[in-house]
Structure 1
Amino acid sequence: MNFATFDLNLLRVLDAVLREGSTVKAAERLGLSQPAVSNALSRLRHALGDELFVRHGNRLVPTDYAASIREGLGEEFNRLEHLLTPPESFDPALASGRFKIAASDFFAELLMPALGDRLNRTAPNVRAQLVELVPDDYVRSVEQYGADLALIPDTDLPAWINRKALFRSSFVVIARATNPRIAGVPQGAELPIDRFCAMSHVLFSPEGKFAAMGDSALARVGRQRQVAMTLPVFSGVCRVVSESDLIALVPEQLANRLASGLGLKIFRPPFEIVPARIVAIWHRRSDANPMASWVRDQIFDLLKPLDTMAAP
């Protein structure tokens, strides 16, 4: 294919047929006649060297090649639309596109349900994706995973990254309410350090490490704990605690959200742990992207209730 002479308007036809599965419906979508759409498909088949669609009953089924470029083609049209849309004319109700968030599953519990509800009501054609962070180098999530936004513990950032402080989260100890090792310790009280260190722990660690912030804090007071298990997701940590006599250190906001439903009790740790400062980061190139800017603002607004301490 000679790209210099290729008619890019033909790709609009391909995108429409991929979406509609019919030349008639694609013609209606594009404001063209059905013969015009069929003629465009014929030219595309010749230019791309692929049949593109095979008929199956009343529908056109994409070939493997056409199916392989479906999502990428749609995303490129979305990017062009955003590129050519003046920010002041952005209307979320009419917008369509994808917004990818890289974050731990903490945000699956504390952001995505509310974000799903808001997008469904105000921007029904904007799709949100939550993907895991790149292990050991969270900033790379913006590059390697193409994330539009990453929600991470605060860290040094390269010049091409923008940052917004969101909230700080203290850590608390969780245990199932029937755990015999917590007998006599009131809900919300400090768990005695001897008991904390003697009990077996489950640790959140996407990388499978057996030590984290809590272990560093313990080491400063000359103590250590017994980590019996690591899990890459907070939901798994909380589930293990709810069904065993293991305990865990987890962010306070998550514990407050899940404790009642999982039958957990919450205690203060018997040593000082510096609260984690959570920030949002994104590539500077998307600062002026109307849809990305709007979705970021929705996310920041939805996360405000988590800021129980001022986040500078």
Structure 2
Amino acid sequence: MNFATFDLNLLRVLDAVFREGSTVKAAQRLGLSQSAVSGSLSRLRHSLDDPLFVRQGNRLVATDFATGLKEPVMQELERLEKMLSPPSHFDPETARGTFRIAASDFFAEMLMPALGQLLHHKAPGIRAQLVDLVPQDYVASLERRNADIALIPETALPDWVSSEELFRSPFKVIARKGNPGIADLRQGQVMPFDVFCKLLHVLFSPEGNITAMGDAALSRVGRQRHVAMTVPVFSGVCRAVRESDLIALVPAQLADDVARTFDLQIFDPPMPIDPPLIIGIWHKRSEHTPLAIWMRGQIFDLLRQLNS
């Protein structure tokens, strides 16, 4: 037998004849005509060089060779059906696997603690990994399977990427409580333009850019600020503000979260800044993967709570 040219559909016919005991009932089971089933058996006999069935009165009796095929063929067809059928049930309590999230360290503060607690109670066999969000490379990271999802500001995406809106992230100004430049300001007030533009800024920028959304917003009202330092992680921005007289624009959710720990004051910026929409993106190849579906649902539900 030449397996390279062997028609595996013939095994389905063989299995149906085994189960039904006649070509008529096998044809009904498969939705074929009796002549089609008989023709398939004829091809199978030729391929396997064995008569497979002999007629004994009104019934078909399997040859010794065919009898030896009965259980293995049934088992292999069931195994293939199970392998090719998407699981109908996903049990997080017994599931095992790793799920990689490409995102800035903002999400180390605002997502991972809550996600860790959730997985501990609901899915102890699933490991979550927060991996670096490489600027301009997050889509490629999905394609290379370096990440299962990426959490990014809304942007244009290729058609093989799915996305979901999560939350908007307005900006706040942070400064250390002992900063002499804010001595006359009250917590929560709008920081005056003159103060905002006079104080030196530390800017979150993984790429090392010295301008960002805040500078574009200032430019629209004819003002500018001085960026004295860029840092590639938000935690570094907050530490720099805590240990110096620098100030920074950071997402409001992060400012509220770290203000007490870092002993910071929070202010509204003097100019309007459109809050960016944060989205989750993933490769469409995992659209129907049970573990990925469940993890996306848990992560996205947690992140929607950040809407303010």
Q: Would you call these one fold, judging by a TM-score over 0.5? A: yes
Post-superposition offset of 1:269: 0.4
Post-superposition offset of 1:264: 0.4
Counting only pairs closer than 5 Å after superposition, residues 89-104 of structure 1 correspond to structure 2 as 89-104=89-104
- My pick for the range that moved more, 135-144 or 102-111, is 135-144
Q: Tell me the matched-pair count.
A: 228
**Partner letter of residue 222 of structure 2?**
G
Post-superposition offset of 1:84: 5.9
Post-superposition offset of 1:136: 2.8
- Seq. identity, %: 61
The residue that corresponds to 2:248 in the other structure is 248
Superposed structure 1 runs of 4+ greater than 3 Å apart: 82-87
Q: Deviations over 1:192-245 (max 9, x none)?
A: 101111111000000011111111111111111111110110011011101111
Larger Rg: 2
Rounded Cα–Cα distance in structure 1 between residues aligned with 2:267 and 2:83:
50
The residue that corresponds to 2:26 in the other structure is none
Rounded Cα–Cα distance in structure 2 between residues aligned with 1:221 and 1:141:
38
The residue that corresponds to 2:138 in the other structure is 138
Contact 1:134/1:140 (<8 A) preserved:
no
Post-superposition offset of 1:85: 7.1
Rounded Cα–Cα distance in structure 2 between residues aligned with 1:155 and 1:97:
29
1:238 aligned onto 2:226: no
The residue that corresponds to 1:125 in the other structure is 125
Distance 1:143 1:193, change over 3 A: same
1:223 aligned onto 2:220: no
The residue that corresponds to 2:299 in the other structure is 299
Distance 1:83 1:137, change over 3 A: farther
Rounded Cα–Cα distance in structure 2 between residues aligned with 1:173 and 1:98:
36
The residue that corresponds to 1:208 in the other structure is 208
Post-superposition offset of 1:302: 1.0
The residue that corresponds to 2:162 in the other structure is 162
Gaps spanning 5+ residues in structure 1: where?
1-81
Rounded Cα–Cα distance in structure 2 between residues aligned with 1:204 and 1:145:
27
Contact 1:103/1:132 (<8 A) preserved:
yes
Gaps spanning 5+ residues in structure 2: where?
1-81
Rounded Cα–Cα distance in structure 1 between residues aligned with 2:165 and 2:295:
16
**Partner letter of residue 210 of structure 1?**
I
**Partner letter of residue 279 of structure 2?**
V
- My pick for the range that moved more, 144-153 or 107-116, is 144-153
Contact 1:167/1:304 (<8 A) preserved:
yes
The residue that corresponds to 2:113 in the other structure is 113
